[in-house]
């Protein structure tokens, strides 16, 4: 009973915050909460300590409400915004000069590996299922997002940095379409705020993908792993995550996260992780690491 009350307090807190943020009543900085996710572990520990104590319901309610108020204060007052260096600016003023609604990088024959760092705020991102003939192409269909692409590395081992400038902060239709070439082995780092990301990587080779997100919705699809180890690391605050992998794909799932909802079939517990039956014998495999709090995780095997 006491555990349900504690969980209910957290659900109500995140629900109210998300609702007020979505309707622009408050400007809540979800990114600022990521470093405080261990507070949820403290809340669970308090629940275990006081669950059978006299007046435990009142004590637990007070503890959880205080933690929620603290996180609410941090989220509404923190100046730690999505500022990834000097290349990203979320002002709608003349600072948007130097960006474009469409950016692209040419594919050079012989390119075997490529790296991309993608820094994005409040937007909806979609990766085209059909690979691009370019190394990378990104576009803002309605022009609400300014894009800036920087090139580093050499022509056969390119390192790209794609940044965004939100031109209309209150507009809920900030969309970005992304397309990647299928030939290189990709190393992806995606830093995103209150955003959604739908990516079908079934025709791409992913060796490493790191997603750092605030209040985000993630839906990712992969084919069989194309490298010896394909590492997927997701660090989030309040978010939902759905991952689709083939039923024959070997996979290990490591979690340092408090999940409000989880669903993954075909995995069994080994050591401190969950893994598929064929993980130890497979030559190519996925390693998925989930870190964060108040997450919903679903792994589908198709």
For the chain, give the number of residues.
Answer: 302
Q: What is the mean pLDDT of residues 136-150?
A: 83
Residue 244, beta-bridge partner list: 221, 300
- The percent of residues in the chain predicted with pLDDT above 70, rounded, is 85
Q: What is the mean pLDDT of residues 251-267?
A: 79
Residues 4-32 pLDDT 10s? 777 788 888 888 888 887 776 777 777 77
d(CA 197, CA 225): 21
Residues 161-191 pLDDT 10s? 998 877 665 445 688 899 999 999 999 999 8
Say how many Å lie between the first and final Cα of the chain, rounded: 37
Q: What is the mean pLDDT of residues 153-159?
A: 86
| Cβ-Cβ contacts under 8 Å for 240 (sequence gap 6 or more) | 217, 218, 295, 296, 298
d(CA 164, CA 24): 21
Give the chain's mean pLDDT: 81
R_g of the chain, CA atoms, integer Å: 21
Residue 127, beta-bridge partner list: 178, 199
Q: Which residue has the higher pLDDT, 27 or 112?
A: 112
Residue 80, beta-bridge partner list: none
Q: Which residue has the higher pLDDT, 181 or 54?
A: 181
Pair 194, 18: CB distance under 8 Å: no
């Amino acid at each position: 009973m006491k555990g349900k009350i504690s969980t209910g307090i957290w659900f109500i807190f995140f629900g109210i915050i998300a609702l007020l943020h979505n309707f622009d009543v408050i400007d809540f900085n979800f990114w600022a909460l990521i470093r405080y996710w261990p507070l949820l572990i403290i809340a669970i520990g308090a629940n275990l300590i006081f669950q059978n104590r006299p007046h435990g319901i009142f004590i637990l309610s007070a503890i959880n409400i205080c933690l929620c108020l603290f996180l609410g204060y941090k989220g509404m007052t923190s100046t730690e915004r999505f500022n990834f260096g000097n290349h990203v600016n979320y002002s709608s003023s003349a600072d948007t000069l130097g960006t474009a609604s469409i950016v692209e990088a040419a594919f050079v024959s012989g390119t075997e590996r490529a790296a991309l760092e993608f820094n994005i705020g409040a937007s909806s991102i979609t990766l085209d299922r059909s690979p691009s003939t370019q190394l990378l192409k990104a576009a803002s269909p309605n022009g609400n997002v300014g894009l800036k692409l920087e090139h580093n590395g050499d022509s056969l081992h390119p390192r790209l940095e794609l940044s965004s400038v939100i031109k209309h902060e209150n507009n809920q239709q900030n969309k970005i379409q992304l397309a990647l070439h299928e030939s290189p082995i990709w190393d992806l780092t995606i830093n995103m705020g209150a955003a959604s990301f739908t990516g079908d990587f079934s025709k791409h080779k992913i060796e490493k993908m790191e997603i750092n997100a605030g209040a985000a919705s993630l839906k990712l699809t992969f084919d069989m792993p194309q490298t010896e180890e394909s590492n997927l690391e997701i660090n989030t605050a309040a978010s939902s995550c759905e991952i689709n992998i083939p039923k024959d794909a070997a996979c290990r799932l490591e979690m340092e996260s408090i999940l409000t909802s989880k669903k993954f079939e075909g995995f069994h517990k080994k050591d401190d992780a969950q893994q598929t039956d064929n993980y130890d014998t497979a030559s190519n495999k996925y390693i998925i690491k989930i870190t964060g709090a108040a997450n919903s995780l679903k792994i589908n095997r198709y």
